[in-house]
């Protein structure tokens, strides 16, 4: 199946602007043309994209799924246009960063505050998604910096590993396990546990540890983000094990941190475009990122020693 660009533009315009009339105005064409192209698209793909109630269109669930892919391609084209404009004017005034939601909440705010302090004309574009979706987007869109948990092979990028420390136990205040300075896998036997989704790389590492110890945890909630996991812990839903960035971030929000007796090293993988495409601003951002990471590690030592 090969769809033409005009059909995709029309579909995207209707989804974004919520009506055929608005889509036709944006695309500078007629309403009958938009309606005709839309029906041709639906015929070609073999399913309805909208439920029709008179002149009103309501997207189907299939349309929502399709548009999630279409929207990414349009964001990519817009980004290419912005970069082309910046190159023409020799004034690259923004950095585009792809990362996990946990980094967008627990790491990048501190980095951004320090980095932007003396750069009033620069702004950051932060694109945060779960690991699987992020891995896909990093191969199809243009980013200056990518931050992931997994190490993947991309021909047009270089990567380096940042040692952040190790995974930490996170507990609600007042939980029985708070009395222990170091928590053993057996201490989690039958305990309410908040966990990552099955496609998370660190879940697999933890599963191996608990399986080897013969420990059965009681899963209360599974979530796709470390920040969501720690929010559940803070609310008393259960205990868990999380990356150091998010652990430190939530230690200021009532979550108690403890070491795990089995060391699970945690690394962030830093992605950059091929050397010929790198910018000096991105180099400076990476230096600040490393500074903030080292400061977080020192803060963590103090928290765990109390």
Q: Where are the domains of the chain?
A: 5-68, 90-164+267-305, 165-265
211: enclosing H helix or E strand:
helix 201-213
Which fold, 90-164+267-305?
D-Maltodextrin-Binding Protein; domain 2 (3.40.190)
Domains 5-68 and 165-265 share a fold: no
254 HSE (CA, 13 A, CB side): 10
Minimal CA–CA distance to 216: which of 193, 190, 192, 237? 190
Greater confidence, 9 or 151? 9
**pLDDT number for residue 134:** 76
Residue-wise over 263-278: b if at least 16 C-beta within 10 A, else e?
A: ebebbbebbbbeeeee
Residue 106's nearest CA partner among 68, 66, 135, 147 is 147
Q: Any idea which architecture 5-68 has in CATH? A: Orthogonal Bundle (1.10)
Residues 226 and 243 sit within 8 Å (Cβ to Cβ): yes
Q: According to CATH, what is the number of the domain 165-265? A: 3.40.190.10
Q: pLDDT category, 140, cuts 50, 70, 90?
A: low
Count of positions (residues) in the chain: 306
The yes-or-no verdict on residue 64 having pLDDT over 90 is: no
Judged against a pLDDT cut of 60, whether residue 80 lies above it is answered with no
Instruction: Let me know: does 297 contact 164? Beta carbons within 8 Å.
Output: yes
User: What is the model's pLDDT at position 154?
Assistant: 62
Query: Is residue 92 over pLDDT 70?
Result: no
Q: Which residue has the higher pLDDT, 2 or 304?
A: 304
User: Crossing angle of helices 20-27/5-17, nearest 10°?
Assistant: 130
Determine if residue 254 is left, alpha or beta; phi over 0 gives left, psi from -120 to 50 gives alpha, anything else beta: left
Q: What is the pTM of this model?
A: 0.67
Q: 106: Cβ–Cβ under 8 A, 6 or more apart, which residues?
A: 226, 227, 245, 246, 248, 249, 250
């Amino acid at each position: 199946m090969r769809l033409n660009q005009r059909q995709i533009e029309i579909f995207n315009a209707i989804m974004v602007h919520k009506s055929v009339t608005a889509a036709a105005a944006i695309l500078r064409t007629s309403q009958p043309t938009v309606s005709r192209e839309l029906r041709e698209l639906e015929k070609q793909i073999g399913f309805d994209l909208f439920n029709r109630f008179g002149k009103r269109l309501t997207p189907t669930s299939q349309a929502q799924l399709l548009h999630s892919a279409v929207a990414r391609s349009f964001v990519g084209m817009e980004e290419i246009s912005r970069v082309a404009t910046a190159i023409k004017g020799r004034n690259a005034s923004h950095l585009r960063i792809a990362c996990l939601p946990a980094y967008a909440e627990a790491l990048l705010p501190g980095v951004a505050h320090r980095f932007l302090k003396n750069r009033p004309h620069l702004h950051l574009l932060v694109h945060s998604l779960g690991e699987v979706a992020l891995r896909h987007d990093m191969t199809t869109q243009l980013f200056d910096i990518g931050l992931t948990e997994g190490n993947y092979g991309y021909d047009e990028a270089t990567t380096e590993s940042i040692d952040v420390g190790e995974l930490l136990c996170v507990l609600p205040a007042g939980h029985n396990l708070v009395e222990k300075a170091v928590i053993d896998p057996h201490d989690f036997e039958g305990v309410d546990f908040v966990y990552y989704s099955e496609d998370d790389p660190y879940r697999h590492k933890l599963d191996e540890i608990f399986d080897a110890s013969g420990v059965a945890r009681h899963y209360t909630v599974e979530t796709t983000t470390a920040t969501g996991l720690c929010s559940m812990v803070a609310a008393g839903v259960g205990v868990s094990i999380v990356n150091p960035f998010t652990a430190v971030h939530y230690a200021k929000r009532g979550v108690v941190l403890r070491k795990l007796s089995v060391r699970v090293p945690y690394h962030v993988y830093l992605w950059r475009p091929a050397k010929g495409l790198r910018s000096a601003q991105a180099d400076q951002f990476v230096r600040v990122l490393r500074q903030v990471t080292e400061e977080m590690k020192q803060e963590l030592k103090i928290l765990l020693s109390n």
